[in-house]
Amino acid sequence: MNILILGSGGREHALAWAVLQNPKCDKLIVAPGNAGIAQIATCASLDTEDPGAVATFAYDHAIDFVIVGPEAPLAAGIADRLREEGILVFGPSAEAAQLEASKRFTKEICAAAGAPTAAYASFTEAELAKAYVRAQGAPIVIKADGLAAGKGVIVAMDLDTALEAIDDMFGGAFGGAGAEVVIEEFMTGEEASFFVLCDGETVLSVGTAQDHKRVGEGDTGPNTGGMGAYSPAPIMDDVVTRKAMEEIVKPCVAEMARRGMPYQGVLYAGLMIENGQPRLVEYNVRFGDPECQVLMLRLGAQALDLMHAAAEGRLAEAQVNWADDHAMTVVLAANGYPGAYEKGTVIGGLDDLPETSFEMCFHAGTTRKDGQVLASGGRVLNATARGATLAEARDRAYALADAVDWPEGFYRRDIGWRAL
Ligand code: AMP
Ligand code: GLY
């Protein structure tokens, strides 16, 4: 099978790594890729949000199967176009990708499916939104309706912050994403991520994870794309997982099919769990980054078979062979992230890192120039490892992170603290 993966982050390096373990992969191209991916696969430059360009590229390179990493190409209709052209693709249609691209849409699906989630109201006018917030009181959560690169959510602990957030969103702080604002009840509890594959009808769990969104140790400081993750999430015990599956994911997937927009791809449910009851915080239509890195290390080669089965509508006959293990990833980020940071700093020590089925340093924001690996983004490397226990996975992951020679980078020392 000739495979094309779209994307350039640590998630896509982990996907590429897993796909290459599988002998069914004959050729792998990743577009655009990064310096780490370039060591294991062919990288190509391609406008991944241009459906015509992706379809033509897939034809020209005799691609049999396309795996879409991030949400933006999906929202742009890449999967629709590839399916029209008869090219097998892992990822939802633009219509189904509204589960991430529109928070109001997701709320409507949850309501129709009876899936537990925060109470909400949606607004297109600031004054009405503010009147609602004043009536509800704080804490309360203000969200831009559309895609805002993970930044369109303000958890307002007081009324002034909430009112200011409404002004910011209608004032264009998130561009078109803020033309509509969803206001939600503030939920308390512990967060976890639940990942399932869907083929439009059948739903298959591929694992749970927890990430650390805050930049600082002890989960302090500003939000980031994620500073580390581990799998499985201890809070997702059998009972909670079954509830998440039966009360949230399956009814929503069935509602999507009923509306004539069957969901195919990976569905990532962000959950809030309180007293053993999960409620939906949000859906994403892609693997989490860095959660994907820990899932791929645990799944290995079978990840390709599972994604392929989802794309071909064969999930009912698929099953996951779980090793009873744990994985952790530690994100190495550029000093200053998530604020301003320097690009182009040199990263050393990478050539000597062990690369086994137990430990991999995935690249996120890196490029190669004159034989050196340079940092080219905020989140730069993902030191990822697995072990029989989470403590063992942690020790291996931190041994990798410690062996990287990059004075201009930093990482949190306490990934997994809650579970450990
Ligand atoms: P989202 O992009 O919707 O996942 O929101 C980002 C983060 O904001 C979530 O991971 C939660 O930590 C927090 N959050 C979002 N919605 C709520 C809510 N209704 N109640 C409490 N926290 C929330
Ligand atoms: N790590 C959170 C996300 O990928 O959305």
Residue 229 lies in a domain: yes
pLDDT of residue 179: 79
Quote the pLDDT of residue 150.
63
Residue 372 forms part of a structural domain:
yes
Q: CA 244, CA 273: separation in Å to the nearest integer?
A: 10
Same domain, residue pair 313 and 330: no
404 shares a domain with 345? yes
Our mutation pick for probing the ligand 1 site, out of 71, 142, 155, counting the most ligand atoms within 8 A of Cβ, is 155
- Containing domain of residue 144, as a range? 125-179
Same domain, yes or no, for 19 and 83? yes
Residues 32 and 150 reside in one and the same domain:
no
Average confidence (pLDDT) over 66-70: 98
> Could you say which of 280, 297, 317 is where a domain stops?
317
Residues 221 and 284 in one domain: yes
102 occurs within a structural domain: no
Q: How far is the CA of 291 from the centre of ligand 2 (A)?
A: 7
C-alpha 71/C-alpha 286 separation (Å) is: 6
CATH assignment of the domain containing 224: 3.30.470.20
pLDDT tens-place string over residues 6-60: 999 999 999 999 999 999 999 999 999 999 999 999 999 999 999 999 999 999 9
Q: Report the nearest-CA residue for atom 13 of ligand 1.
A: 155
CA gap 42, 297 in Å, rounded: 21
Element (H, E) at 56: helix 51-60
pTM of the model: 0.95
Which atom of ligand 2 lies closest to the CA of 292? Answer: 4
pLDDT, position 172: 79
Is pLDDT above 90 for 145?
no
| CA separation, residue 363 to residues 11, 208, 265, 310, 402 (Å) | 9, 22, 24, 27, 15
Ligand 1 atom showing the smallest separation from residue 150 Cα: 2
What is the number of the ligand closest to the CA of 136? 1
Per-residue pLDDT at 197: 98
Task: Kindly report the backbone phi and psi dihedral angles of residue 180, in degrees, each rounded to the nearest multiple of 5, phi listed first.
Answer: -130, 140
Mean of per-residue pLDDT scores for the chain = 96
Q: Residue 147: what pLDDT?
A: 74
pLDDT category at 223 given cuts 50, 70, 90 is confident
Would you say 43 and 7 are in contact if contact means Cβ atoms under 8 Å apart?
no
User: Are 278 and 358 members of one domain?
Assistant: no
Best of 214, 271, 284, 379 for a ligand 2 pocket test (most atoms within 8 Å of beta carbon): 284
Interval 202-215 mean pLDDT: 97
Looking at all shown ligands, the one closest to residue 270's CA atom is 1
Which domain-ending residue is among 92, 116, 138?
92
Task: Single out the residue of 387, 401, 221 nearest to residue 297, CA to CA.
Answer: 387
Is pLDDT of 175 > 90? no
pLDDT band at 173 (very low <50, low <70, confident <90, very high): confident
pLDDT at 149: 65
Burial 368-406 (b: 16+ CB within 10 A, else e): beeeebbbbbbbbbbbbbbbeebebbbebbbebbeebeb
CATH code: domain of residue 406: 3.90.600.10
Within 6 A (CB) of ligand 1 lie 118, 141, 150, 153, 155, 184-187, 191, 270, 281-282
CB 211 within 8 A of CB 226: yes
CB contact at 8 A, 204 and 306:
yes
pLDDT the model gives residue 270: 98
For ligand 2, the distance from its centroid to the CA atom of residue 226, given in whole angstroms, is: 6
Ligand 1 atom closest to Cα of residue 185: 19
Provide φ and ψ at 10, rounded to 5°. Answer: -65, -35
The CATH number linked to 145 is 3.30.1490.20
Does residue 203 lie in a domain region?
yes
- Residue 235 has φ and ψ, to the nearest 5°, of -70, -20
Nearest to residue 348, comparing CAs of 373, 378, 371? 373
Lowest mean pLDDT among 114-118, 176-180, 220-224, 266-270: 176-180
Number of domains in the chain: 4
Give yes or no for a contact between 261 and 93, defined as CB atoms under 8 angstroms apart.
yes
- Quick check: 66 pLDDT over 80? yes
What's the pLDDT band for 177 if we cut at 50, 70, 90? low
Q: Verify that 259 and 371 share a domain, yes or no.
A: no
% of the chain residues with pLDDT over 70: 99
pLDDT value for 335: 98
Q: Which ligand has an atom closest to residue 282 CA? A: 1
Distance 272 CA to ligand 1 centre (A): 9
Would residue 111 count as lying in a domain?
Answer: no
* Secondary structure string (H, E, C) spanning 135-156: HHCCCEEEEECCCCCCCCEEEE
* Structural tokens at position 5: 């993966």
> What would the pLDDT profile of 49-62 be if each residue is shown by its tens digit?
999 999 999 999 99
Ligand 2 atom with minimal separation from the 289 CA: 4
Tell me, what's the pLDDT at 146? 77
Judged by average pLDDT, the poorest of 173-177, 211-215, 273-277 is 173-177
Domain identity same for 265 and 163: no
Do 235 and 174 lie in a common domain?
Answer: no
Query: Using CA positions, which residue lies closest to atom 2 of ligand 2?
Result: 288
Are residues 62 and 138 part of one domain? no
Query: Are 170 and 196 members of one domain?
Result: no
- Find the residues whose C-beta lies inside 6 A of ligand 2: 150, 211, 225-226, 284, 288-289, 291
Nearest residue by C-alpha to atom 3 in ligand 2: 288
Q: Which atom of ligand 1 is nearest to the CA of 184?
A: 19
Ligand 2 centre to CA of 224 (Å) is 9
- Which among 362, 365, 191 is positioned nearest to 292, based on CA atoms? 362
346-376 pLDDT per residue, tens? 999 999 999 999 999 999 999 999 999 999 9
* Residues 274-286: tens digit of each pLDDT: 999 999 999 999 9
- Secondary structure (3-state) at 345: coil
